[in-house]
């Protein structure tokens, strides 16, 4: 079954993904970021990529989807390079899931 | 009548021989002290008599005389605001005569005060034809109750004389010309307590009896003419529930039977009730109340009679056209009295030692409740609503008294020890309690209060049931796994439980809630739900809604303390809530759709 993937971030970072068929939501501020992520979640995108700088703008929104199966929010570096928070999140979640830090 | 001789005394049970003239259910005078008893079994010339007074000091050889009459009550002016024991001896005069708080043996009293002068006003004229059940005149018994003097059962004729004036209860007030000649009547009727008073027609009860108790009126209502049971372990709040309904229920007459419970509870009633004002009449509630007390320090057998005495008085006022409520606290003590007598009679015991006829006795009692048209040429509509507390040992409702009761009553208010421990009062468990009158009452209140009443009740009940399911999930996998809508459901359910169902009987305002206020309160809580749901749909987060409405939710929680005269304030809270949530939505920059 075909599943849609969405991506939220600043225009320069995410535009290339359009070519891959992702639903691209370009945002410039907190409000747009929040509405964008919530919209994709509501439209049942199972996976949403969010660039790290945008995720930092809307921690409340990211937290909302922490404990639900769908959508999975995956933080990716922006074109400015990684901030390390995506990896940190994965580490935290793995630790929660298996009970210890195995990464 | 021939005198019998006692051959055996076993606690409250006395066996006498030489009683061949007597009949079962006859009242007897036992021993030289002339203790009052009732024959409950006849074998040949041997009568087994349950004695309503302490039997120490009487023994074999003492005399027993049957009165030849069944145990009866006196019905007439003077019942209201009186306090009687289980066989209708007035307790205040009794205490004066015996000079003691406790029953002193063999003191003979009459039920109705003989010396009081009553103003009697005829409602029929000389020459009128009357039949049993017709009202021939009225006596203003208290400020709120007009006592109707009715033609006794089995009598019919033409009024020969009748006059306005002041009379004592034993004075002749009217004379009828009957087939068997002229008959003079006073204001007293006698009626055997174990027989239901006859009616012309039984009606289907539909109108709710409003009690001012939110959980009862909204979720588990009882109708005028219905029957309800309040089972619960010790300390769960049975007595408080009964007192609350006696105080605030919208029945016109209340009969309160204290049966085998702690003596000081009846003292509470005596101290409290006269000071309480009936919101409907503006007068003391004693002006419409009859008290019957058979507390645990009084003999067991009299308890057995007390609920029959109570319901007979209730039926008498029903026949006048009043709505009557009878409270019995507790029917378990009555059933235990039955068990004790049955044991002493050496009958074959049934479940848990109760006699096999326990179920049919309980049914006989509750079946005397109902809505009916009285006898008489112009039948009147009256009702008896019966509410019985049951005290199952250890709170285990699978025991025989509770089970037999639940087979017959249509309303079950299950009091819950856990809720009582959490100070959730009234501790009526909303998940297992029920009322089979919910549909009728819903229809009635849709008309009388608001067309959305029944739907709102249904919605609130569904939320409480969802809460129970969600609680289960939360226990298994934690609150984080719930969606925001589910978390909102939990919030609303909590509000229904704490802000609506919980009701403090000892708070001046909270103790009583009119149906209009109940409607506004429930609508407010449900409005919080629908307004929040809409905000979530528009993209607001639950945490934002909850944080933004802290102050408003506090006002919702305190709406129960808003006095009846100011209930429009509840509507204001709802308006403010609407505005506040709009703000939250706008602050999020989220668009209205
Ligand atoms: N509606 C209520 N509001 C406040 N307190 C209550 C309420 N119902 C019961 N209680 C508390 O519970 C206590 C026990 O209630 P009670 O009716 O005597 O229990 P029971 O008759 O079941 O043994 C009361 O003394 C009172 O403190
Ligand atoms: Mg009690």
Contact A64 B539 (CB under 8 A): no
* Pocket perturbation via mutation, ligand 1, pick of B239, B240, B393 by most ligand atoms within 8 A of CB: B240
Euclidean distance between CA atoms B52 and B67, whole angstroms: 15
* DSSP letter (8 states) at residue A102: -
- Phi/psi for A2 (5° steps) reads -75, 125
Contact B589 A67 (CB under 8 A): no
CA B578 to chain centre: 41
Verify whether ligand 1 is closer than 6 Å to residue B240 (CB atom).
yes
Q: What does the pLDDT read at residue B550?
A: 95
Question: Each residue of B392-416: pLDDT tens digit?
Answer: 988 899 999 999 999 999 999 999 9
Euclidean distance between CA atoms A26 and A49, whole angstroms: 12
* DSSP letter (8 states) at residue A72: E
At which residue do the structure tokens 């209502």 appear?
B221
Instruction: Kindly report the length of chain A.
Output: 103
Verify whether ligand 1 is closer than 6 Å to residue B78 (CB atom).
no
Q: What does the pLDDT read at residue A1?
A: 42
Euclidean distance between CA atoms B254 and B285, whole angstroms: 9
Euclidean distance between CA atoms B213 and B228, whole angstroms: 14
Closest-CA distance of chain A to residue B350, Å: 57
CA B460 to chain centre: 27
pLDDT mean over B404-431: 96
Euclidean distance between CA atoms B308 and B300, whole angstroms: 15
Verify whether ligand 1 is closer than 6 Å to residue B226 (CB atom).
no
Query: How far away, in angstroms, is B237 Cα from ligand 2 center?
Result: 7
Euclidean distance between CA atoms B64 and B26, whole angstroms: 12
Domain of residue A83, residue span: 5-98
Contact (CB, 8 A) for B353 and B338: no
Tokens matching residue B551: 């102050």
Question: Which residue has a Cα nearest atom 23 of ligand 1?
Answer: B235
Angle, helices B400-408 vs B358-367, to 10°: value is 40
Euclidean distance between CA atoms B145 and B147, whole angstroms: 6
Alpha-carbon distance values, B408 to B318, B367, B403, B411 (Å): 21, 8, 9, 9
The top-scoring range by mean pLDDT among A43-57, B121-135, B478-492 is B121-135
User: Would strands A72-76 and B63-70 be described as parallel, antiparallel, or unpaired?
Assistant: unpaired
By CA distance, what is A62's nearest residue in B?
B541
Question: Each residue of A20-51: pLDDT tens digit?
Answer: 888 899 999 988 999 999 999 888 888 999 99
> What share of chain B has pLDDT > 90, as a percent?
72
Tokens matching residue B322: 């009043």
Number of independent structural domains in chain A: 1
Verify whether ligand 1 is closer than 6 Å to residue B502 (CB atom).
no
pLDDT mean over B345-354: 89
pLDDT mean over B498-518: 96
Please identify, by atom number, the ligand 1 atom nearest to the C-alpha of residue B213. 1
Confidence of residue B91 (pLDDT cuts 50, 70, 90): confident
Neighbours of B114 (CB within 10 A): 12
At which residue do the structure tokens 């509770």 appear?
B402
Contact (CB, 8 A) for B225 and B371: yes
Contact B539 A67 (CB under 8 A): no
pLDDT mean over B572-579: 95
Classify domain B449-592 at the CATH class level. mainly alpha
- Output the CA torsion sign for B484, B486, B492, B495: negative
- Report the CATH fold assignment for B202-434: Rossmann fold (3.40.50)
pLDDT mean over A45-60: 90
By CA distance, what is B483's nearest residue in A?
A68
Number of H helices, E strands in chain B: 16, 26
Confidence of residue B108 (pLDDT cuts 50, 70, 90): low
- A13 within some domain: yes
Euclidean distance between CA atoms B360 and B338, whole angstroms: 12
pLDDT mean over B326-334: 92
Tell which A residues from 66 to 95 touch B, by Cβ distance under 8 Å: 66-68
Q: Report whether the peptide linkage leading into residue B378 is cis, meaning its omega lies within 30 degrees of zero.
A: no
- Count Cβ–Cβ pairs < 8 Å, chain A vs chain B: 18
Confidence of residue B109 (pLDDT cuts 50, 70, 90): confident
Neighbours of B442 (CB within 10 A): 18
Chain B contact for A34 (CB, 8 A cutoff):
yes
Nearest Cα neighbor of B333 from B243, B281, B279, B259 is B259
Euclidean distance between CA atoms B136 and B377, whole angstroms: 12
Q: What does the pLDDT read at residue B290?
A: 94
pLDDT over 80 (residue B331): yes
Closest-CA distance of chain A to residue B578, Å: 23
- Phi/psi for B72 (5° steps) reads -130, 160
Tokens matching residue B417: 């020890």
Using a 10 angstrom Cβ sphere, with 0-12 exposed, 13-18 middle and 19 or more buried, the burial of residue B472 is: exposed
Mean pLDDT (chain B) is 91
β-bridge partners, B167: B118
Contact B483 A64 (CB under 8 A): no
| CA dihedral angle for residue B189, residue B190, residue B194, residue B197, rounded to 10 degrees | -20
Q: What are the extents of the domains in chain B?
A: 3-70, 117-190, 202-434, 449-592
CA B58 to chain centre: 37
Verify whether ligand 1 is closer than 6 Å to residue B505 (CB atom).
yes
By CA distance, what is B480's nearest residue in A?
A67
Euclidean distance between CA atoms B39 and B13, whole angstroms: 10
Using a 10 angstrom Cβ sphere, with 0-12 exposed, 13-18 middle and 19 or more buried, the burial of residue B367 is: middle
Is domain B117-190 annotated with CATH 3.40.50.10330? no
> What share of chain B has pLDDT > 70, as a percent?
95
3-state class (DSSP) for residue B178: strand
Q: Which residues make Cβ contacts (< 8 Å) with residue B225, sequence separation at least 6?
A: B203, B205, B323, B369, B370, B371, B372, B383, B384, B385
Q: What does the pLDDT read at residue B98?
A: 53
Q: What does the pLDDT read at residue B410?
A: 96
- A103 within some domain: no
Confidence of residue B224 (pLDDT cuts 50, 70, 90): very high
Kindly state the helix (H) or strand (E) to which residue B580 belongs, with its residue range: helix B568-587
Q: Which residues make Cβ contacts (< 8 Å) with residue B204, sequence separation at least 6?
A: B371
Contact (CB, 8 A) for B169 and B116: yes
Q: What does the pLDDT read at residue B430?
A: 97
At which residue do the structure tokens 């505005």 appear?
B579
Q: What does the pLDDT read at residue B103?
A: 54
Query: Could you tell me the pTM of the whole model?
Result: 0.89
- The CATH number given to B3-70 is 2.40.30.20
pLDDT over 70 (residue B101): no
Question: Each residue of B274-317: pLDDT tens digit?
Answer: 888 887 788 888 999 999 988 776 777 788 889 999 999 999 99
Tokens matching residue B3: 């005198």
Question: Which residue has a Cα nearest atom 7 of ligand 1?
Answer: B425
Tokens matching residue B372: 């009916």
Euclidean distance between CA atoms B435 and B230, whole angstroms: 12
pLDDT mean over B467-486: 89
Q: What does the pLDDT read at residue B94?
A: 53
Contact (CB, 8 A) for B272 and B307: no
Contact A38 B539 (CB under 8 A): yes
pLDDT over 80 (residue B127): yes
Which range, of B121-130, B225-234, B474-483, averages the lowest pLDDT?
B474-483
Verify whether ligand 1 is closer than 6 Å to residue B235 (CB atom).
yes
β-bridge partners, A47: A5, A72
* CATH number, domain containing residue A49: 3.40.50.10580
Using a 10 angstrom Cβ sphere, with 0-12 exposed, 13-18 middle and 19 or more buried, the burial of residue B266 is: buried
ipTM over the 0.95 cut-off = no
Tell which B residues from 510 to 549 touch A, by Cβ distance under 8 Å: 539, 541, 543
Q: What does the pLDDT read at residue B99?
A: 54
């Amino acid at each position: 079954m075909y599943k849609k993937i969405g991506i939220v971030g600043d225009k320069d970072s995410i535009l290339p993904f359009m070519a891959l068929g992702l639903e691209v939501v370009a945002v410039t501020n907190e409000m747009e970021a929040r509405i964008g992520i919530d919209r994709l979640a509501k439209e049942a995108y199972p996976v949403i990529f969010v660039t790290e700088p945008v995720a930092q703008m809307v921690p409340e929104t990211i937290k909302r989807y922490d404990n639900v199966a769908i959508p999975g929010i995956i933080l990716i570096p922006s074109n400015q390079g990684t901030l390390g928070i995506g990896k940190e999140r994965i580490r935290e979640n793995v630790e929660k899931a298996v009970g210890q830090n195995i990464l | 009548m021939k005198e019998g001789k006692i051959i055996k005394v076993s606690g409250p049970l006395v066996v006498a021989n030489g009683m061949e003239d007597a009949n079962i259910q006859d009242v007897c005078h036992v021993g030289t002290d002339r203790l009052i008893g009732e024959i409950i079994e006849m074998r040949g010339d041997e009568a087994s008599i349950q004695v309503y007074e302490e039997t120490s000091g009487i023994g074999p050889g003492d005399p027993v005389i049957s009165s030849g009459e069944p145990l009866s009550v006196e019905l007439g002016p003077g019942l209201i605001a009186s306090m009687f024991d289980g066989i209708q001896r007035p307790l205040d005069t009794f205490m004066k005569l015996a000079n003691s708080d406790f029953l002193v043996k063999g003191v003979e009293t009459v039920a109705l005060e003989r010396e009081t002068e009553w103003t009697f006003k005829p409602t029929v004229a000389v020459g009128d034809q009357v039949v049993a059940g017709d009202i021939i005149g009225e006596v203003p018994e208290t400020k709120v109750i007009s006592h109707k003097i009715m033609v006794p059962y089995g009598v019919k004729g033409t009024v020969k004389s009748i006059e306005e004036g002041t009379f004592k209860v034993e004075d002749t007030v009217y004379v009828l010309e009957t087939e068997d000649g002229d008959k003079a009547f006073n204001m007293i009727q006698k009626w055997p307590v174990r027989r239901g008073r006859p009616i012309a027609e039984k009606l289907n009860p539909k109108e709710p009896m409003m009690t001012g108790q939110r959980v009862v009126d909204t979720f588990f209502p009882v109708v005028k003419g219905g029957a309800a049971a309040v089972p619960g372990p010790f300390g769960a709040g049975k007595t408080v529930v009964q007192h609350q309904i006696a105080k605030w229920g919208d029945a016109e007459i209340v009969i309160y039977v204290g049966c085998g419970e702690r003596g000081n509870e009846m003292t509470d009633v005596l101290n409290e009730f006269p000071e309480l004002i009936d919101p409907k009449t503006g007068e003391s509630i004693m002006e419409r109340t009859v008290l019957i007390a058979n507390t645990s320090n009084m003999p067991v057998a009299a308890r057995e009679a007390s609920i029959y005495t109570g319901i007979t008085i209730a039926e008498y006022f029903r026949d006048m056209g009043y709505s009557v409520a009878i409270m019995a606290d507790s029917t378990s003590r009555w059933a235990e009295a039955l068990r004790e007598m049955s044991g002493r009679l050496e009958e074959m015991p049934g479940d848990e030692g109760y006699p096999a006829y326990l179920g049919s006795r309980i049914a006989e009692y509750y079946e005397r409740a109902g809505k009916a048209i009285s006898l008489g040429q112009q039948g009147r509509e009256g009702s008896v609503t019966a509410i019985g507390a049951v005290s199952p040992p250890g709170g285990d409702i699978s025991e025989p008294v509770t089970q037999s009761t639940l087979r017959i009553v249509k309303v079950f208010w299950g009091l819950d020890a856990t809720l009582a421990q959490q100070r959730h009062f009234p501790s009526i468990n909303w998940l297992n309690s029920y009322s089979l009158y919910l549909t009728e009452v819903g229809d009635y209140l849709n008309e009388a209060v608001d067309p959305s009443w029944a739907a709102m009740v249904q919605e609130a009940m569904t939320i409480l049931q969802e809460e129970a399911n969600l609680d289960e999930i939360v226990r298994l996998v934690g609150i984080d796994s719930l969606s925001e809508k589910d978390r909102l459901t939990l919030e609303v359910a909590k509000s229904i439980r704490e802000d609506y169902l919980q009701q403090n009987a000892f708070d001046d305002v909270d103790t009583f809630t009119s149906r209009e206020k109940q409607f506004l309160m429930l609508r407010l809580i449900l409005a919080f739900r629908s307004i929040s749901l809409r905000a979530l749909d528009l993209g607001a987060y639950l945490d934002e809604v909850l944080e933004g409405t802290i102050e408003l939710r506090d006002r919702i929680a305190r709406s129960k303390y808003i006095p009846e005269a100011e209930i429009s304030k509840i509507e204001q809270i709802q308006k403010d809530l609407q505005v506040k949530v709009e703000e939250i939505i706008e602050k999020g920059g989220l668009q209205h759709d």
